[in-house]
Amino acid sequence: MLPKLDSYAALAVAVGVNLQPGQPLVISCPVDCADFARLIAEKAYDAGASEVVVRWSDDNITRQKYLRADDAVFDTLPQWLEKFFYEHADRGAAIISVFAEDPETLLGVDPNRIARWQKASHAKLKDYYERQMRNDFRWCVVSAPVDAWAEKVFPGREDKNAALWDAICRAADLRGTPEETVAVWQDKVKRLGGFAEKLTAYNFTKLHYKNSLGTDFTVGLPKNHMWSAAGELAADGVRFVANIPTEEVFTLPDRSTADGVVYAALPLVLSGNIIRDIRLTFRNGKIVESYASEGQEFLDAELDLDEGARYLGEVALVPYHSPISALGVLFYNTLFDENAACHLAFGEAYPLFTDVTELSKDEIAARGANSSMTHIDFMIGTPDLSITGITADGREVPVFADGDFAEL
Ligand code: ZN
Ligand code: ZN
């Protein structure tokens, strides 16, 4: 294994979930990445974990299930699985997910089976996901190569797994020893946090996006929204970083205010399928028209999951010249691709406000936050993207010019 993986595993434990002595850790991981899970477990015990529990998954078995299992199983989440999530959340466990999949693992699967399974799981895990969105517990998403994914990113290359590991390590800014890497990340948290603070201070009422791809779109932001970045605060007051890598600065939109047309800049992997050339038209916040040159049925199935799926839940800014887009690698994995480009997400919103931390579900909704069982980031940033912020007194402030942050 590459020596840098030691740093990645250490980073996930120390900075990602910021594991505290005596705390349990849950790792969810594909069986193909077992070596990496073992390394994370080792770092977790080094940091004083009370117990490390692993939930394994496997693309091949998942695909077989979608193609061949009894139809009825897609409508119920088994009780033991529901219990697994709540029990660990109640125990105060931290969660590390190794997000790695064949981007086309569900190619040819009935989108209806996928949608029914999502609905069945969400019906039982709604509270759990809400707790995650408001950072009730600390969680972190990392990644590692699996063969079919590496083949998609580096087709035909004999050393594809090593090449993907290398790209992941560069994207995650892994430099030197674990201690040096942790220091690099502490700087990153500070730098991104600086942008978030400046944006929050403007308290923009609206953002206007424009580029030559055809995107011409405005979206409102709720009053006293807060921009966030790497280095969020969990409910217990301990800082953590939810994604490694991360380059985004993000907030929530006002659900009923998006208007115009948005063109995706990169393909999106959704439900084990690749969706290309997405174009979405918004009216009064709602996606009233959707198009994709490939995989449209999977996009539409996602948008039809519930009422909130057609409204936005996240607005995220990522400079075109971010370290990840500079790699010039299309990862076909949202953890990386969303950090290479400005993106939006349709679905559930993160409740991010400056004036309150604890709000009921109804209060959050009254402030314009969207609610849905899904949350899908899609990338819209291009080298010529401009974003203008409009303040409450009508001032127009350049936020992005030519794909990067303007002087804020
Ligand atoms: Zn995001
Ligand atoms: Zn997101």
Give the closest residue to 408 by CA, choosing from 282, 319, 310. 319
Beta bridge pairs of residue 292: none
CA of 249 to the centre of ligand 1 (A): 8
Give the closest residue to 201 by CA, choosing from 342, 399, 2. 399
Are the C-beta atoms of 193 and 229 separated by less than 8 Å? yes
CA of 24 to the centre of ligand 2 (A): 26
Give the closest residue to 379 by CA, choosing from 270, 254, 285, 227. 270
Structure tokens of 195? Answer: 């942008």
CA distance 239 to 247: 17
Beta bridge pairs of residue 27: 54, 96
E strand or H helix at 210, and its extent?
Answer: strand 206-210
10-residue mean pLDDT series, the chain (408 residues)? 84 97 98 97 98 98 97 96 97 97 95 96 95 94 96 96 95 89 92 95 98 97 96 93 96 98 97 96 98 97 97 97 90 95 96 86 93 96 97 97 92
Q: Domain 4-179: give its CATH architecture.
A: 3-Layer(aba) Sandwich (3.40)
CA of 139 to the centre of ligand 2 (A): 14
pLDDT at 1: 57
CA of 399 to the centre of ligand 2 (A): 20
Beta bridge pairs of residue 390: 206, 396
CA of 308 to the centre of ligand 2 (A): 15
E strand or H helix at 129, and its extent?
Answer: helix 111-133
CA distance 367 to 107: 39
List the shell of residues around ion ligand 1, using CB closer than 5 Å.
248, 316, 377
Closest listed ligand to the CA of 346: 2
CA of 335 to the centre of ligand 2 (A): 9
pLDDT at 100: 97
- Kindly tell me the burial class for residue 26, based on how many C-beta atoms sit within 10 Å of its own C-beta (0-12, 13-18, 19 or more): buried
Closest listed ligand to the CA of 341: 1
Got the DSSP string for 69-128?
A: S-GGGGG---HHHHHHHHHHHHTT-EEEEE----TTTTTT--HHHHHHHHHHHHHHHHHH
Closest listed ligand to the CA of 381: 1
CA of 68 to the centre of ligand 2 (A): 31
CA distance 178 to 121: 37
Beta bridge pairs of residue 219: 207
CA of 305 to the centre of ligand 2 (A): 17
Are the C-beta atoms of 16 and 142 separated by less than 8 Å? yes
**Those residues with Cβ within 8 angstroms of residue 151's Cβ, 6 or more apart along the chain or in another chain:** 160
CA of 375 to the centre of ligand 2 (A): 6
In the chain, the amino acid numbered 245 is P
Closest listed ligand to the CA of 345: 2
Got the DSSP string for 365-382?
A: HHTT----S-EEEEE---
The structural domains of the chain, with segments of one domain joined by +, span 4-179, 200-228+247-403
Query: What's the distance, CA 401 to chain centroid?
Result: 24
- Kindly tell me the burial class for residue 182, based on how many C-beta atoms sit within 10 Å of its own C-beta (0-12, 13-18, 19 or more): middle
pLDDT at 356: 79
CA of 158 to the centre of ligand 1 (A): 33
CA distance 308 to 119: 13
CA of 315 to the centre of ligand 2 (A): 8
Are the C-beta atoms of 19 and 94 separated by less than 8 Å? yes
Give the closest residue to 327 by CA, choosing from 405, 396, 245, 258. 245
Phi then psi dihedrals of residue 341, to 5 deg: -160, 150
CA of 185 to the centre of ligand 1 (A): 18
Closest listed ligand to the CA of 375: 2
CA of 380 to the centre of ligand 1 (A): 12
Structure tokens of 263? Answer: 């063109």
CA distance 196 to 188: 12
Answer whether 0.85 is exceeded by the pTM: yes
CA of 173 to the centre of ligand 2 (A): 21
